[in-house]
Amino acid sequence: MSDYETVIGIETHAQLCTASKMFCRCQVPASAVGGGDSQQPSPPNSLVCPVCLGMPGALPVANRQAVEQVLIAALALNCRIPERSWFDRKNYHYPDLPKGYQISQSQSPLGRNGWIDIQVDATIKRIAISDVHLEEDTGKLTHVGGSSLIDFNRSGVPLMEIVTAPDMSSVDEVREYALELRRLLRYLGLCSGNMEQGAMRFEANVSIRPQGSSTLGARVEIKNLNSFRALLRSVEYEIERQQRALQQGLPIDRETRGWDEEKGVTYVQRSKETAEDYRYFPEPDLPVLEIDTVWVERLRQQMAELPQQRRTRFASQYGLSPYEIALLTEDRDTAEYFEAAANAGRELDISPKVAANWITGDLFGLLNAAHRDIGDVRIPPRQLVELLALLAENAINIPTAKHVLRVMFETGQAPKEIVVAEGLGQIADRDRLASLADSVLDAHPDIVAQYKGGKQTVLRFLVGQVMKATQGRADPQLASQLLEEKLRSA
């Protein structure tokens, strides 16, 4: 296994979050935005116009929002931004490409020479980003019998392509890279990251070489990986396939392979004997982009906090453990929920740590069981903290708090309302508990005798009886204390 070194690079296509297409003002189809299941898919070829249908004479105009989103991604990925950037035509023939070329960027990507840090186990590794550029999506083909049907609704939807250097050396690193990139794009509001709806697609370049060798092995490109699972499984398969080939003395060809999800194998898609000749040239219909520092700085100001920055801040500001931080910063909604709770906690004297425990414990449990995201939760962060305050001031006990949280989750009611309506308030009334303690002691003379005989652990049984008599509402500490006093003095 360790006789070989693996070298992997990843290309990611991420769909940007825009209302209209890249070069015309047709609406981006709902299924492509990641708008959730409430939205009906648009009928085929109902979101198209002469530009995205490639009709002669139609002129493209670039979408400002899309350009700025890619510039923000490039900044977040620590790229160098060029002063001038333009679009190029990538020429090839395929029925889903109505113009006979795709408008892309080849010579002057909006970002170059950047990096992103990933963490595998306890080690931070820097992955170089060689290119971040903007291009347009193609139409969608469906094969029916001897025909192909084309829906051009997706034609011209803006895509950002992010290309890494061949810097990864294991499936684990590929996973962390893909997750961190998705997290980053979602934090910045640049891509929904919704894999089911194709918002992120990958290609992987995999080559292996004998350990210590300095020459790169033949590069195999795996195309059309539409999920994390497909990305990771195909890379794993490809590493093993190439190692087997080298061990058997077989050549590894430079080629493009597809991924068969069902069989779990990669297969040769296209031999490179006619290396594709895309004849890139500058798009004459679109003027160049002049990107001055004023524009770049304005975008930098607009940039939301990045996952890495947030993790660092959470550690210093709230004193959370790395594990809690990882859970709370996984997506922006969770991080913001926690921060709102931490802020409310300052007023009600609930520590961030306690809020973090309840969010990552009970609240996550409820969300997972209901298959819901924190963005849809019906409990405002402040009410969560109010619940914790009730607990802290002994108005309710822990089992009651868990019950109230569940009701809050289901009904959206405030914690105090639930406690009052269900009569859940903790009984911390000394006289009332004292009289309960007396009747429990009267009812169990044998246990009292055991206690006096030195078996002090039976106290727990007696406390349990008081809890039972109050349907779990008694303050257990006070009950225990009162029972103990009575047993000693009796």
Partner 1 sequence: MLTPEEVGHIAGLARLGLSPEEIQTFGKQLSAILDYAHTLARLDTEQVAPTATVLALENVLAPDRAEPSLSQEDALANSPQVQDGQFRVTAIME
Would you tell me which residues interact with partner 1 (CB under 8 A)? 18-20, 25-28, 43-50, 53, 61-67, 84, 86, 91-95, 107-108, 141-152, 269-270, 274, 277, 279, 282, 284, 286-290
Nearer to partner 1, 93 or 488 (CB): 93
Task: Output DSSP code: residue 168.
Answer: B
Which burial class, exposed, middle or buried, applies to 73 when counting CB atoms under 10 A from its CB (0-12, 13-18, 19+)? buried
Integer Cα distance of 167 and 235 in angstroms: 14
Least separation in angstroms between residue 71's CB and partner 1 is 12
Q: With respect to partner 1, which residue has the nearer C-beta, 80 or 279?
A: 279
Residue 124 vs 144, nearer CB to partner 1:
144
d(CA 46, CA 427): 65
Q: What are phi and psi of 243, to 5 degrees?
A: -65, -45
Q: Which long-range contacts does 208-213 make (Cβ < 8 Å, 24+ apart)?
A: 208/4, 208/5, 208/6, 208/7, 208/239, 208/242, 208/243, 208/246, 208/252, 209/4, 209/5, 209/7, 210/3, 210/4, 210/5, 210/246, 211/2, 211/3, 211/4, 211/5, 212/5, 213/5
CB 266 within 8 A of CB 234: yes
Question: What is the nearest approach in angstroms of partner 1 to the Cβ of residue 369?
Answer: 38
Of 91 and 226, which CB lies nearer to partner 1 in the complex structure?
Answer: 91
Report DSSP state, residue 29: P
Find the angle CA(325)-CA(328)-CA(329) to the nearest 5 degrees. Answer: 80
Tell me the closest approach of the beta carbon of residue 159 to partner 1, in angstroms. Answer: 15
Shortest CB 231 distance to partner 1, Å: 20
H or E segment and range at residue 224: strand 220-225
Q: Least separation, in Å, of the C-beta of 278 and partner 1? A: 9
Give min distance, CB of 269 to partner 1, in A: 7
Nearer Cβ to partner 1, position 87 or 338? Answer: 87
And the tokens for 129? 């980003």
- Of 95 and 464, CB closest to partner 1: 95
Query: Using alpha carbons only, what angle is made at residue 425 by residues 421 and 427, rounded to the nearest 5 degrees?
Result: 145
- Write down the least CB distance from residue 200 to partner 1, Å: 20
**DSSP states of 373-407 as a string?**
-GGG-SS-HHHHHHHHHHHHTTSS-HHHHHHHHHH
State the nearest-atom distance from the C-beta of 155 to partner 1, in Å: 11
Q: Residue 136 or residue 331: which is nearer to partner 1 going by CB?
A: 136
- Here the tokens at position 375 are 């963005």
> Rounded distance, CA 154 to CA 140, Å?
7
Question: What is the nearest approach in angstroms of partner 1 to the Cβ of residue 8?
Answer: 24
To the nearest whole angstrom, how small is the minimum distance from the Cβ of residue 161 to partner 1? 19
Rounded CA separation 237/228 (Å): 14
